[in-house]
Amino acid sequence: MPHKFNACRRHKFDKKRYRVMNWAEYNESLRQRGDLTVWLDTDALRHWTAPRQKSGGGQLRYSDIAITICLTLGLVYKQPLRQTQGLMRGIVRLIGLDIPVPNFSTLSRRGRGLNLPVKSRTRRSEPVHLVVDSTGLKIFGEGEWLREKHKTKARCKSWRKLHLGLDLLTGEIVCADLTLDDVRDPTALPGLLDQVDAPVSRFPADGAYDGAPITGLLNARFGNAVEVIIPPPKNAIPSPQSVHDPSLRDHHIAAIQAHGRIAWQSSSGYNQRSRGETHPLMHAAHALPSNERDDGRVSLGQN
């Protein structure tokens, strides 16, 4: 029988409760994740071919929109250029369209100087649930090549830190900064907050941001209504005025002492901070090649 060994003490454990109760809709949503539905917008089809150039030289056959669509599909499905051409041909055949598909050499040539359209950021009036995190970027250059090819000792190279600010409500990156490796996260926070053009109502962050300077900075930028959710250290003690005028940090300390740190993380919403760590750009940043320029800056994706 299941749980036979622990049968005498099963009554001490609460029955597992699941958040999901509408299992039919939940299962259908999981099925829809595997549903492949691809269509091409009529505007994209109308501008699939490049307009005729009045200058001399050869004429482009495909527009930038067509090259962007092909390269985007190849990036989403992680396909090389030849497989991207085959993928696009299959999609066009399944949809029943009569349009030419760029070959892999055209995608390679046009993709180098392709100017992707940049979506302009709209000013928001709704408050932002801001979570900030950073990740390290390794600098690739001649050092590793010399060490592998000629077995020479590579010169010491530092790394860079990519700081990102994510809105938990929309999943949009609202601020970003690239700093040297000796810039700590609290030091880079003022520059990130300068890029946020909307009010902030919640700020969940890890213990590195704990302290009065960070709380004062957030209150000065966004007012006293901002909810700062930062876990205090294990040896944190309440402030002297906690009895008569407790701060938000004093409430966090009291909640942790009364119910435990795990219960406080769940009740305060601190667990949502992990969405910033698991953002796709955080994972992609580790795989991006980078070059170090003479002025010490790092350019991504231009190796």
| Model pLDDT for residues 159-211, shown as the tens digit of each residue | 788 888 888 888 888 888 988 888 888 999 999 999 888 889 899 988 888 88
User: Are both 40 and 146 inside the same structural domain?
Assistant: no
User: Are both 77 and 141 inside the same structural domain?
Assistant: no
User: Are both 98 and 137 inside the same structural domain?
Assistant: no
**Other C-beta atoms within 10 Å of 231: how many?**
22
User: Are both 142 and 209 inside the same structural domain?
Assistant: yes
The answer to whether residue 246 sits within a structural domain is yes
Residue 86 gets the label, from left (phi > 0), alpha (psi -120 to 50) or beta, of alpha
> How many structural domains are present in the chain?
2
Query: Which phi and psi (to 5°) does residue 130 adopt?
Result: -90, 130
Pairwise CA distance, residues 149 & 164, whole Å = 36
User: Are both 99 and 132 inside the same structural domain?
Assistant: no
Q: What is the pLDDT of residue 134?
A: 83
List, in sequence order, every residue forming a beta bridge with 203; answer none if it has no partner. Answer: 228
User: Are both 105 and 134 inside the same structural domain?
Assistant: no
Q: What is the pLDDT of residue 57?
A: 76
User: Are both 217 and 135 inside the same structural domain?
Assistant: yes
Q: What is the pLDDT of residue 293?
A: 37
The answer to whether residue 97 sits within a structural domain is yes
User: Are both 133 and 104 inside the same structural domain?
Assistant: no
Residue 290 pLDDT exceeds 60:
no
Pairwise CA distance, residues 162 & 140, whole Å = 16
- Contacts with 155 (C-beta within 8 Å, 6 or more apart), sequence order: 143
- The three-state secondary structure class of 113 is coil
Domain ranges, residue 163: 128-292
**Other C-beta atoms within 10 Å of 2: how many?**
6
Q: What is the pLDDT of residue 5?
A: 65
List the structure tokens of 260.
Answer: 């435990």
Q: Where are the alpha helices (DSSP H) in 184-269?
A: 185-193, 212-222, 248-259, 261-268
Residue 88 pLDDT exceeds 90:
yes
The answer to whether residue 103 sits within a structural domain is yes
The answer to whether residue 28 sits within a structural domain is yes
Residue 20 pLDDT exceeds 90:
no
Q: What is the pLDDT of residue 56?
A: 72
User: Are both 288 and 200 inside the same structural domain?
Assistant: yes
Q: pLDDT tens-digit profile of 21-74?
A: 788 888 888 888 888 788 888 888 898 998 887 777 778 899 989 999 999 899
What average pLDDT is seen over the chain?
Answer: 80
Q: pLDDT tens-digit profile of 214-223?
A: 989 999 988 8
